[in-house]
Amino acid sequence: MSEVSTAGRTGLFRPLSTAGAVATVLGALLPWATFVFNEGPYPAKATLQFFDAPFALSGFRLHLMLFGLAALVVGFTRLPGRGRVLRALGWGVLAVSAVNTVFLISNGGGFGAVSASDGAFAFGCYVGLAGGALLVADNWHASAEPLPRWKFSLPLWAAWLVLLVSFGAVLLLVAATLTAGGLGGAADPYAGPVFLSFLGAAGGLLGGLHGTGLLSWIGELSEKHRLFSVLVLLLCALGLPLTSAGNEYWMTVAANIGVYAATAIGLNIVVGLAGLLDLGYVAFMGIGAFVAANLSGAAASALGIHVPFLLAAVIAAVIAGIFGVIVGSPTLRVRGDYLAIVTLAFGEIFRRAAQNNIGGLTGGANAIPNIPQVELFGLEFNNPVTIGGLQLPGGVLYYFLIVLLVALTMVAFGNLKNSRIGRAWIAIREDEDVARAMGIRTGKAKILAFLTGATLAGLAGAVFAHKTATVSYESFQFLESVTLLAAVILGGMGTIPGAVLGAALLFVLPEKLREFSDYRLLLFGLALVLIMRFRPQGLVPDRHRRAELVAEDVELPAAPKEATA
């Protein structure tokens, strides 16, 4: 295998890769299913066509066609990082083909759906799988190639333009990912596979771009123009309602993701920075939500008073923070596994207490329904808004509110991480004994971590209460805590984009994969195992962890110095 790739690197023509690319193109043109499914053609008739309408390709077959053509072209160029690009494209083709094949077989009642049945033939999936497998196999050792580093510098306006375009592309990709497959459930029975297939294609695309060194370059560029990047990113986030995701449904989904992303960033302080394993973290979000619900003037609330939203949110955050201190106090005495058990117990106590309507504050099994919508500056947050002729969907104000909340938690996290207390937290995570010898008051610092994390979660909970209009103990179960923890670890411990990405993935997947809900946890667990095996540092790793886990990156800090000298 290594001989093949060595030979391929020097020579221009790579027979196996080219064959894979051709197979991918053919696979895209061949029919994929032998009959029309009961729920309607999958997806949108594209699966039944055979060469007769090559320009009418849509959906996953269009993705395959584009990937195949890209691989064909890249295979004949001397593009730096060519092997990496081809391999990423191959993985994308493989993922797209596999998802659709598995779905067609399971939904079509066996291999007849994807082979031959009643005189009809459909071999698209086999050809597609073979194409992807060839591309991956031929470039199996691409990691040995150095990742290309782009070194040219740009004038300011060009750098800004590049960043603007890049973040705009990210926005479109996010919108396309959100809406891929449609609403799901009964409305669209094919939502799950279409979404997963899109995810595979998006992964292949990003992997391919990364292989050229483009993504690292943009990353460095945005590091250099940090403030500008943050502003553009914020603008892009606020621009989501203007894209294809701009209707009430997707605004709600995006707002929910935002709530969990903000909570995950809070958890990232406790787990990612201070290294305190908290298995009951969602309880703090629950406390914030119940406090806000009780102060909202909802008919079912015990207090029956109505406090303005902003004040209620602050009170919710403060009370959640107080509970953070209460739960944090035992951490002075227990470490590691024992701390996990203490926090686990706290989460369960909270849930049971809420379920049994302790103090009449949680509504018990009836929950607290009909929480009024947020009203700020005379705006009712459930209603659509029109800004100068621009019609924005309902729920968009909640989305804006949550974008601001996430931005706020990001700023808090970023500043804390690089502050004195942030250094103390990281020191405690790395070596608690030495942290004490350095004069760090570890007890105080740990409680402060719990306090900060819980406050942010309480704030997110307050928004959550108004957004969903019903607060029930069922929203704050152990599984939610675990999912949040998984979001932090999956995305990359101790980083902001990691927590957001992790939360987005973990809370959008269940939304999209409702028809697989029986297997959801199984798939979820499997995905986590795979990611932890092949990318233990998380999707967006912290620079400390990157150094620890990826040996080949260790020497990198010295390299640019030589290049500039």
Partner 1 sequence: MSDTVQTGKPLLEVRDLCVAYGAIEAVRSVSFTVQAGQIVSLIGSNGAGKTTTLRTISGLLRPRSGQILFEGRPIHTQPAHAILGMGVAHCPEGRRLFPKMTVEENLLLGAYTRKDEGIAEDVERVYDLFPVLGERRGNKAGLFSGGEQQMLAIGRAMMSRPRLLMLDEPSMGLSPIMTQRIFDTIRDLQRLGTTVLLVEQNALAALAQSDYAHVVDLGRTTIEGTGHDLLADQRVRDAYLGEN
If one counts every other C-beta atom within 10 angstroms of the C-beta of residue 19, the result is: 16
Supply the minimum distance, in Å, between the C-beta of residue 488 and partner 1.
Answer: 18
Q: Please pick, from the candidates 424, 499, 508, 513, the single residue that binds partner 1 as defined by CB under 8 A.
A: 424
Q: Please pick, from the candidates 434, 479, 523, 526, the single residue that binds partner 1 as defined by CB under 8 A.
A: 434
Q: Of the ranges 185-193, 332-340, 446-454, 542-550, which one interacts with partner 1 (CB under 8 A)? A: 542-550
What the block records as the tokens of 266 is 């809070």
> Applying CB under 8 A, does 225 fall inside the site for partner 1?
no
Supply the minimum distance, in Å, between the C-beta of residue 217 and partner 1.
Answer: 21
> Applying CB under 8 A, does 271 fall inside the site for partner 1?
no
What the block records as the tokens of 389 is 């002729």
Count CA within 13 A, CB hemisphere, residue 190.
23
Would you say 248 or 553 has its CB closer to partner 1? Answer: 553
Would you say 151 or 420 has its CB closer to partner 1? Answer: 420
Q: Of the ranges 43-51, 309-317, 431-439, 457-465, which one interacts with partner 1 (CB under 8 A)? A: 431-439
Angle at which helices 309-328 and 282-294 pack, to 10 degrees? 140
Query: DSSP per residue over 288-303, as a string?
Result: HHHHHHHTBT-TT-SS
Q: How far is Cα 182 from Cα 42, in angstroms, rounded to an integer?
A: 13
In the shown chain, the binding pattern of residues 437 to 466 toward partner 1, with x for contact by CB under 8 A and - for none, equals xxxxx-------------------------
Supply the minimum distance, in Å, between the C-beta of residue 325 and partner 1.
Answer: 19
Q: Percent helix, strand, coil in the chain (nearest 5)?
A: 70, 5, 25
Name all contacts of 356-360 with Cβ < 8 Å and 24+ positions apart.
359/302, 360/302
Question: Helix (H, G, I), strand (E, B), or coil: what is residue 43?
Answer: coil
Q: Please pick, from the candidates 118, 433, 518, 562, the single residue that binds partner 1 as defined by CB under 8 A.
A: 433
Report the DSSP pairing between strands 385-387 and 375-376.
unpaired
Supply the minimum distance, in Å, between the C-beta of residue 338 and partner 1.
Answer: 17
Supply the minimum distance, in Å, between the C-beta of residue 309 and partner 1.
Answer: 39
How does DSSP classify residue 147?
P
Would you say 285 or 428 has its CB closer to partner 1? Answer: 428
Size of the site for partner 1 (CB under 8 A): 23
Supply the minimum distance, in Å, between the C-beta of residue 437 and partner 1.
Answer: 5
Q: How far is Cα 120 from Cα 123, in angstroms, rounded to an integer?
A: 10
Q: How far is Cα 381 from Cα 396, in angstroms, rounded to an integer?
A: 8
> Applying CB under 8 A, does 423 fall inside the site for partner 1?
yes
Would you say 333 or 441 has its CB closer to partner 1? Answer: 441
Would you say 525 or 557 has its CB closer to partner 1? Answer: 557
Would you say 135 or 427 has its CB closer to partner 1? Answer: 427
> Applying CB under 8 A, does 558 fall inside the site for partner 1?
yes
> Applying CB under 8 A, does 545 fall inside the site for partner 1?
yes
Supply the minimum distance, in Å, between the C-beta of residue 447 and partner 1.
Answer: 15
Q: How many angstroms separate the Cα of 445 from the Cα of each of 300, 347, 422, 504?
A: 39, 22, 9, 29
> Applying CB under 8 A, does 298 fall inside the site for partner 1?
no
Q: Please pick, from the candidates 427, 448, 456, 493, the single residue that binds partner 1 as defined by CB under 8 A.
A: 427
How does DSSP classify residue 77?
S
Supply the minimum distance, in Å, between the C-beta of residue 440 and partner 1.
Answer: 6
Q: How many residues does the chain have?
A: 565
Residue 539's closest CA among 511, 507, 510, 504?
504
Would you say 174 or 445 has its CB closer to partner 1? Answer: 445
Supply the minimum distance, in Å, between the C-beta of residue 553 and partner 1.
Answer: 11
Supply the minimum distance, in Å, between the C-beta of residue 433 and partner 1.
Answer: 7
If one counts every other C-beta atom within 10 angstroms of the C-beta of residue 535, the result is: 14
Q: How far is Cα 342 from Cα 394, in angstroms, rounded to an integer?
A: 42
Would you say 514 or 546 has its CB closer to partner 1? Answer: 546
Query: DSSP per residue over 432-467, as a string?
Result: HHHHHHTT--HHHHHHHHHHHHHHHHHHHHHHHHHH
Q: Which residue ranges make up the site for partner 1 (CB under 8 A)?
A: 420, 423-424, 426-427, 430-431, 433-441, 544-545, 547-548, 554, 557-558
